[in-house]
Amino acid sequence: MRSFKARNFLIAASMAAIGMATGLANAAELKIWHHTYPPAEEFIKQKAAEYTKLHPDVTFQFQSDPHGDYEVKLLAAIAAGEAPDLINVLDYLYPKFVSKGILAEANLPAMGVKTNEELEALYSPGALKGLMIDNKIYGLPEELNTFALFMNKEHFAEVGIDVTDKANWPKSWDDLFAMAKKVQKKDDSGNFTRLGFNWVFGLDGFWYAMEYWPILNQYGCEVLDAAGKATINSPQCVAAFTDTWQRLVTDGIGGPDYATVNPVNALQDFSDGRQSMMMAGIWSPPLFGEDVKKNYVVAPIPQKDPANPKTLLYNYSMTVTQASKNQEEAWRFLRFLTSDGDGYLRHTGYVTGLKGWEKSEAAKDTIGADIFADQLQYGTYYWRSLTWNEEGKAIKDAIEQMMQGTSVQEALDQAAKQIDFVRSQN
């Protein structure tokens, strides 16, 4: 009996040694690149540490850059043959990145499923739609989002408006601008000490798009027609920007001269209590100042036609590069990371889009989660184009020209010409 036990011990020890050797031989270091958002960075690092405890042969490197710099540095690294394994990619870039062979198709077995349908069944309807090209899945949602209206209830209480009462929420853009005028403050010299409302200015084209895309949907404004020709200067688009963006200046409510530019926290003015209303995603509260965290209310964004609501839908995803030498392990970790929907929502404010997320304990503890869950059904993904960045910049430039006095029609005419030009060069 002793000899049998000894023999078994030797076999087990040999197998363990082989396993350790194999683990070392298959050791993987996964490089993760992400746009700068401190709560997400901390959470991803936490989950990576948990994964390494479960899989000691897998380690991680993490790099983050502000959104405006992130894509430039990422494309440069890929071109130099130094692509990271896992990257943070917005859904509008998928056509471009897939066409250039940058993204790896999802490894379904590594994520514990056999078919696309099986993976889609784990998510809310449409959550993976923006991450698919030709019915192939290339990423998983990290931040499935729409925008809502955040209001500082303390500011409004000062002027006798109770925004905890839904009856007092602005339903139309006229309502919003009227409320902005009531709650804004100026000093004796006429300088703003508090803005009622303002758009985000001075950042990249995507930030502008998050704010104007729901409005374009409401007004029936198309960036491109079915043939791919720019229509951003159509009457519908002119009306959209006139009624909502140029109005900031014509009504003397706000504009770029009054906005704090911060690529890490674009909503700095609201976060610090210098602004009473803003449009933003469910991810924004972790960056609020302590006073604002205690005093905000979430409502649906205003509508051109409140009876027919329309807004945006976007997906800031996590995905795996085609250049990764550890694709299977990367997809396995990605599923591990994003499956912690409660952790993401509690620590970062991100909704990973898993089915039933709105009924989770984390959602119940998140102010406005019910509003965001409801508004997602009215959202539309951005227009698709291989030259989206250049087109988005053309529209951003047009907005900035409007703010400096150029007519909306003239600014959008210039944007349309620029969009047609960049598309002709592709």
Do the Cβ atoms of 353 and 121 come closer than 8 Å? no
Q: Which residue has the tokens 């999802």?
A: 106
186 by DSSP, 3-state: which? strand
Q: Is the pLDDT of residue 20 over 80?
A: no
Do the Cβ atoms of 241 and 404 come closer than 8 Å? no
Q: Is the pLDDT of residue 24 over 50?
A: no
Q: What is the mean pLDDT of the segment spanning 56-74?
A: 91
Q: Which of 23-37, 179-193, 241-255, 324-338 has the lowest mean pLDDT?
A: 23-37
Q: Is the pLDDT of residue 404 over 80?
A: yes
Band of the pLDDT at 3, cuts 50, 70, 90? very low
Within 13 Å and on the Cβ side, how many CA atoms surround 123? Answer: 26
Q: Which residue has the tokens 């027919």?
A: 308
Q: Which of 241, 244, 240 has the alpha carbon at shortest distance from 219?
A: 240
- Per-residue pLDDT, 194: 97
Q: What is the mean pLDDT of the segment spanning 367-376?
A: 95
- Per-residue pLDDT, 185: 96
Q: Which of 40, 53, 139, 123 has the alpha carbon at shortest distance from 348?
A: 40
- Per-residue pLDDT, 265: 87
Q: Is the pLDDT of residue 99 over 70?
A: yes
Q: Which of 294, 41, 303, 56 has the alpha carbon at shortest distance from 175?
A: 303
Band of the pLDDT at 26, cuts 50, 70, 90? low
Over the Cα atoms of the chain, what is R_g? 24
Beta strand ranges found along 25-161 (DSSP E): 28-35, 58-65, 86-90, 132-133, 136-137, 140-145, 148-152
Q: Is the pLDDT of residue 342 over 90?
A: yes
Q: What is the mean pLDDT of the segment spanning 353-376?
A: 95
- Alpha-carbon dihedral sign for residues 205, 206, 208, 214: positive
Gap between the Cα atoms of 300 and 172, Å rounded: 10
Gap between the Cα atoms of 1 and 376, Å rounded: 67
Q: Is the pLDDT of residue 7 over 70?
A: no
Band of the pLDDT at 286, cuts 50, 70, 90? confident
Q: Is the pLDDT of residue 367 over 60?
A: yes
Q: Which of 391, 382, 426 has the alpha carbon at shortest distance from 90?
A: 382
Q: Is the pTM of this model over 0.85?
A: yes
What percentage of the chain carries pLDDT values higher than 90? 89
Q: Which domains does the chain have, with CATH numbers?
A: 23-144+314-373 (3.40.190.10), 148-313+383-424 (3.40.190.10)
**Cα separation values, 328 from 9, 198, 270, 418, Å:** 33, 45, 42, 41
Q: What is the mean pLDDT of the segment spanning 342-360?
A: 95
- Per-residue pLDDT, 22: 40
- Alpha-carbon dihedral sign for residues 279, 280, 284, 285: positive
Name the token pair of 294: 């205690």
Q: Which of 21-35, 71-85, 173-187 has the lowest mean pLDDT?
A: 21-35
Band of the pLDDT at 426, cuts 50, 70, 90? confident
Q: Which of 21-35, 60-74, 242-256, 260-274 has the lowest mean pLDDT?
A: 21-35
Q: Average pLDDT, whole number, for the chain?
A: 92
